[in-house]
Structure 1
Amino acid sequence: MNPYQLESQSSKQFLSAVILAGGKSSRMGQDKALIPWDGIPLLQRVCQVACQCCQQVYILTPWPERYQEILHNFNYQFLVESNPGQGPLVALAQALAEVPSEWVLLLACDLPLLQVEIMRDWAERLNNIPDSILATVPQQENFWQPTCGFYRREALPELQKFIQQGGRSFQTWLKQIPVQPISVNSLPSDMLFNCNTPIDLKKSSSENG
């Protein structure tokens, strides 16, 4: 059983996490999801956090067999990515269409410094989000951090319309829908750090070693 449940929600379908593990990792030169961070693969680290703050966790990827071994201790389900290589916005559209929960927490697989307590606090705030708001996303200096954000299932029609018109930019789409920003001023400065390149990995590993 999931050790964490939102107190005011009896439905297990209130909040699900969808972890993106379908990128090309072109800047890293190898699959980021499998790269160890302090001895633990990045995807496994993110999955561990997600399992502690969501009722259900999904891994969205074109190649589920690649990750089964490192995730065998977690309660999760695979979603096979239907349009791989199209970017995280298209991946979110698939997630909102297939995941039967009111909210989806979208997470990149390369966020090694996520903190469970902060993510739980953000999840609890969903109970107080007005119905008119379709997403609540961290924002730093007018730049959204969309792959660590919460999206309502009701956002799907607007998202599909945007994609059908050729849109692929999260930043552009989020300017067109009602979004409640999550303030990150009080966060540890590196919690939303993305490990994208070998330089990132080397620098951050040395800082945490």
Structure 2
Amino acid sequence: MEIATIILAGGKSSRMGKDKALLDINGIPLLRKTFDIAQQCTDRVYIVTPWGEKYRSILPQECNFIQELSSFQGGLIAFSHALNEVKSDWILLLACDLPFLTVNEIQTWIKYLPSIKESSMAFLPKDEKGWQCLCGFYRSNCRQSLEDYLNTGNRSFQKWLNTEKVEELKVKNKQIFFNCNTPQDYKKYSNLF
């Protein structure tokens, strides 16, 4: 079973006021931390961003960049674009701003993948707001479904996932999904990273 990781790093970071991907997490940029975790757990790692040159110096030479064609079109468009270039059985899709993500957590999740039904397109955590769509697994053959959905003019991850069969990934430590979105978030939790 081959697994690739796609990390989305194309957001505006407008609430943070500076690039979240470059936030210092124990001396390491947050994007690099996410990359290192993914690299230890999956076969290949891709960064989808319109700013590859900006991040090249903080990432290893073997990092694969996918140039996001149009900035700020949203995660679903970026994911769709990346699916045209990434070939594997499963794709771990991650946001770049998950400071509490760990290797152990992802390795535990991966152990469940062989038991996911063939008819299920994704294996994702869920909370009261819906699917945690930027921290979970998708079958690579979801590409056609996603293209069909985008052709309807919709761009909501949740609405697309609600049209497909998704198995729930049970996660005890919900802090894993914390997105560092504001300076207040960073200040409040930086001693825990």
Q: Which residue of 1 aligns with 2:54?
A: 66
Asked if the contact 1:137/1:179 (under 8 Å) is kept, the reply is: yes
Asked if the contact 1:51/1:75 (under 8 Å) is kept, the reply is: no
SS at match of 2:158: helix
AA at the equivalent of 2:178: F
Q: Which residue of 1 aligns with 2:170?
A: 183
1:196 alignment partner, one of 158, 177, 181: 181
AA at the equivalent of 2:168: P
Q: For residue 23 of structure 1, report the CA deviation from its aligned partner.
A: 0.7
Distance in 2 (CA, whole Å) between partners of 1:123 and 1:86 is: 29
SS at match of 1:146: coil
Q: For residue 144 of structure 1, report the CA deviation from its aligned partner.
A: 0.9
Q: Which residue of 2 aligns with 1:157?
A: 144
Instruction: Normalising by structure 1, report the TM-score.
Output: 0.88
Gaps of 5+ in 1: 1-8
The answer as to 2:82 corresponding to 1:95 is yes
AA at the equivalent of 2:105: I
Q: For residue 126 of structure 1, report the CA deviation from its aligned partner.
A: 1.3
Alignment of 1:128-147 (within 5 A): 128-141=115-128, 143-147=130-134
Alignment of 1:70-81 (within 5 A): 70-72=58-60, 75-81=62-68
Q: For residue 62 of structure 1, report the CA deviation from its aligned partner.
A: 0.7
1:112-159 Cα deviation digits (max 9, x unpaired): 110111101111211121111111111113511110011111111111
Q: Which residue of 2 aligns with 1:42?
A: 30
1:27 alignment partner, one of 6, 10, 15: 15
Distance in 2 (CA, whole Å) between partners of 1:142 and 1:24 is: 22
Give the count of matched residue pairs.
Answer: 193
Gaps of 5+ in 2: none
Q: Which residue of 2 aligns with 1:56?
A: 44
Distance in 2 (CA, whole Å) between partners of 1:25 and 1:204 is: 17
The answer as to 2:164 corresponding to 1:172 is no
Instruction: Normalising by structure 2, report the TM-score.
Output: 0.95
Asked if the contact 1:81/1:91 (under 8 Å) is kept, the reply is: yes
Distance in 2 (CA, whole Å) between partners of 1:32 and 1:133 is: 32
List, as ranges, runs of 4+ consecutive aligned residues in structure 1 with deviation greater than 6 Å. Answer: none
The answer as to 2:69 corresponding to 1:82 is yes
AA at the equivalent of 1:194: N
AA at the equivalent of 1:61: T
SS at match of 2:66: strand
Q: Which residue of 2 aligns with 1:4?
A: none
Distance in 2 (CA, whole Å) between partners of 1:201 and 1:127 is: 36
